[in-house]
Amino acid sequence: MRCTLGVDVGTSSTKGVLVAADGAILASATRAHDVSRPRTGWVEMDAAIWWDEFVSIARELLSVHPDAEVVAVGVSGMGPCVLLADEDDEPVRPAILYGVDTRAGAQIERMTAELGTAEITRVGGSTLTSQAGGPKIAWVADEEPDSWARARRLFMPASWLARKLTGAYVLDHQSASQVSPLYDIENEQWHDPFWEQYAATIAQPSLAWAGEIAGSVTDDAAARTGLAAGTPVITGTIDAWTEAVSVGAHEVGDLMLMYGTTMFMVFTNSVATGAETLRTPSMWTTAGAFPGTRNLAGGLSTSGALTAWLKDLTDADYPQLLAEAEAAGPGARGLLMLPYFAGERTPIQDPDARGVIAGLTLEHGRGDLYRAALEATALGVRHNVETMRAAGADIRRIVAVGGGTQGQLWLQIVSDVTGLVQEVPATTIGASYGAAFLAATAIAADGEAPLITDWNPVAQTITPDAALRPTYDTLFDRYVRLYAATADVVHELAADQRASTGSAAHTRPTTSSTISTSEES
């Protein structure tokens, strides 16, 4: 039986799927893992976990279907991450994760001063924030000189798996465009002057598109994984973009909402049609997963992580919490939450933001808190959507994906708060499925590539309740004002938290990186 294998390394787990030629999922496997948070603002992971879990998943899936002929392998992973390895491909330190890791504030400030915001944006498309890979590379050079002295190669989870499987040293364009400011987004290549200034001792990875073949499974990797030597492996990309592929949300005008540990949003436009590359200081401009495309992207630092925190805190299960949250009703009986429990990425770009719960009384219960958390993430999505539209994004279609789409209440709240119709596909397993699809298309003969609409048709449509629009318009106004009103105190508390853990200081955002209501409209 001919099939493809797709594996995605996420923040809280690695997932793999074995997919038949018609898109049917034959088997799936998951390995849960934890990130390391050694200091406030630091989020790391041992890269050995990524490869070990790939090997374990591949062997499990092949044992379930011993008759499976894996004809191609798809890889994907969280990002942008910074994993530096020596000349023997041994990591010099744990991988520094994406925008939830906020350690490089001083480097962001220094690089911005050295290069200038206008030049950084011209070359890379985006201003430097905690999401950018370049400042994290600079942080290792500044703070860990012994590690830096040994560093010779740069990887992310997908490219690390491709390296382990094939020996290829390659990074996809989309991931590379988030190693800001070291990638030239208009010319789709590394920007040599900035690379020489900040990463001169690191060899530049070759660049390819996500669905292009990076190489073939080596004899050694075959012995480890059970895959056949010579099996093609795609280059892969960051999980949010592979998730967009998995639901067909990568056409011009599409917006993908990824419900996961964090919330991610990707809007696609095409420079091939003559459209401009959209830029705004409060969002991320990136290359797309495919040639000729560009993305305007955003992300919340917590979404599923916030609901999981409340579940653990209250010692209740999800069905209980969802039932109580539904009973609480719109507005959570007068509660309003800011979901910035791990700082915030877009659009406020504030690593020192923290969670705030306003309106608490002794009458409120866990269901009210859970409802407020769901509404907080929805309000965060609306904040991003309105910022994208203000930057010129013509959003024509919304597609939801990820584990959070299994909860009908959360989906409905997001549609009610944003006023957006969401399409939910039949399969929402996410990036691993998208990686398997990219692998299938990579080896298909001309004119025979599968269509994601055949693999994964729309299963349901979530329509906003127009009667709730005034309620959520008011709540959104309060949401934006609550951040502005509490920011000074919260920043002081964040400084105290860093001091208590011995964390390196980082700089608060400048006024220009904070978006007000008037700037969005």
Work out how many domains the chain is built from and give that number: 2
Residues 378 and 490 in one domain: yes
Predicted pLDDT of residue 502 = 64
Q: What integer pLDDT is reported at residue 509 of this predicted model?
A: 38
Amino acid letter, residue 29: A
* pLDDT for res 506: 43
Indicate whether 215 and 326 sit together in one domain: no
Please tell me the predicted confidence (pLDDT) of residue 251. Answer: 85
* Shared-domain flag, residues 345 and 399: yes
- Digit-coded pLDDT (tens) for 45-59: 999 999 999 999 999
Q: Are 401 and 264 in contact (CB under 8 A)?
A: no
Are 174 and 307 members of one domain? no
Look at residue 521 and tell me whether its pLDDT is greater than 50: no
The mean predicted confidence, pLDDT, of the chain is 93
pLDDT of residue 231: 98
Please provide the DSSP assignment of 107-145 as one string.
HHHHHHHHH-HHHHHHHHSS---TT-HHHHHHHHHHH-H
Specify the pTM. Answer: 0.85
Q: What is the pLDDT of residue 513?
A: 32
Beta bridge partners of 141: none
Same domain for 222 and 284? no
Q: Examine residue 22 and state whether it is found in any structural domain, yes or no.
A: yes
In the predicted structure, residue 121 carries a pLDDT above the cut 90:
yes
Residues 242 and 248: their CA atoms lie apart, in Å, by: 10
pLDDT of 512 higher than 50: no
Residues 18 and 96 placed together within one structural domain of the fold: yes
| pLDDT at site 404 | 87
Strand partners, 344: 350
For residues 390 and 521, the answer to whether their CB atoms sit within 8 Å is: yes
Please give the average per-residue pLDDT across 223-248, as a whole number.
Answer: 96
User: What is the CATH classification number for the domain harbouring 388?
Assistant: 3.30.420.40
**Mean pLDDT of all residues in 142-166:** 98
Nearest one of 478, 488, 475, 519 to 353, comparing CA atoms: 488
pLDDT at 335: 98
Cβ(53)–Cβ(59) under 8 Å?
no
For residues 148 and 57, membership in a common domain is answered with yes
Residue 291, token pair as written in the block? 């040639």
As a whole number, mean pLDDT of residues 346-373 equals 97
Domain membership of residue 214 as a residue range: 2-235
What pLDDT, on the 0 to 100 scale, is given for residue 58?
98
Residue 337 has pLDDT above 60, yes or no: yes
What is the residue type of 306?
A: L
Shared domain check, 177 and 49: yes
Task: Tell me the per-residue pLDDT of 406-456, one tens digit each, with 9 for 90 and over.
Answer: 889 999 999 999 999 999 999 988 899 999 999 999 999 988 999 999 999
Percentage with pLDDT > 70 across the chain = 96
Give the pair of three-digit tokens for residue 147. Answer: 């590690």
